[in-house]
Chain A
């Protein structure tokens, strides 16, 4: 398995780079075309959140193998002000302003696992999707 891919994110062009890199990396696992699109879309949402709400951040993409299954782990970290109310931020249609309110809850629906940690020094979203078929 290859090393992880790190994509610094500070502008809207980086959002496109992050999702393209994620799709390329995930394509090494037996994901279906639809699953690759779901992964790329989820990456787009969390990467855009960095651009919208933080001065900078990064998306780290990594393939993983545990308990005989393979998957992709996407970690989006930023140095933004943090999310005041995480539960609210994960509700559909809630936004503090610029977003659609579908980014975070939507990304959560697209992936198999989703964790969000937020504090005054930044926010980290970790998402995983498992390849449904064995390699």
Chain B
């Protein structure tokens, strides 16, 4: 199932609605990469609130998406990782090093606007 991507000013918001297969994750990557160019987006929020499992593939793919889109000039923030999912990720040995995370969409947008208004500050 394709993940809907909304354009909100300079940002893209991808809201994952249901469990994603590996192909869905790769489709999301390709869609975001294309849209960052098309809309000249400065930031991306990926909302994973609906995900009840984040396994090694999903987590590695989200990290690649963040790194790839950064190379295209857009910062990615992953929002909405559920407490149980965070627990499982740590047990599994996964981390999202080098990727911004925030509690929810609101915090994610706040993080992006701080980052883009003050270049070089908090964007690493």
Contact = CB atoms under 8 A, between A and B. Distances in A.
Interface stretch (B41-49, B80-88, B100-108): B80-88
A15 B88 CA distance: 17
Contacts of B83: 34
B56 A37 contact: no
Interface string B100-118: 0000000000000000000
A5 interface: no
Interface residues of B, number: 22
Interface stretch (B3-11, B19-27, B31-39, B66-74): B19-27
A99 B20 CA distance: 18
Chain A: interface secondary structure?
Answer: helix
Contacts of A41: 53-55, 88, 92
B60 interface: yes
A52 to B, nearest CB: 9
A100 B21 contact: no
Given A37-B87, A106-B92, A20 B19 contact: yes
Contacts of B53: 19, 37, 40-41, 44
A112 interface: no
Interface of B: 19-23, 52-57, 60, 82-85, 87-88, 91-94
Interface of A: 12-13, 15-16, 19-20, 23, 33-34, 36-38, 40-41, 44-45, 48, 51, 92, 99-100, 102-103, 105-107, 109-110
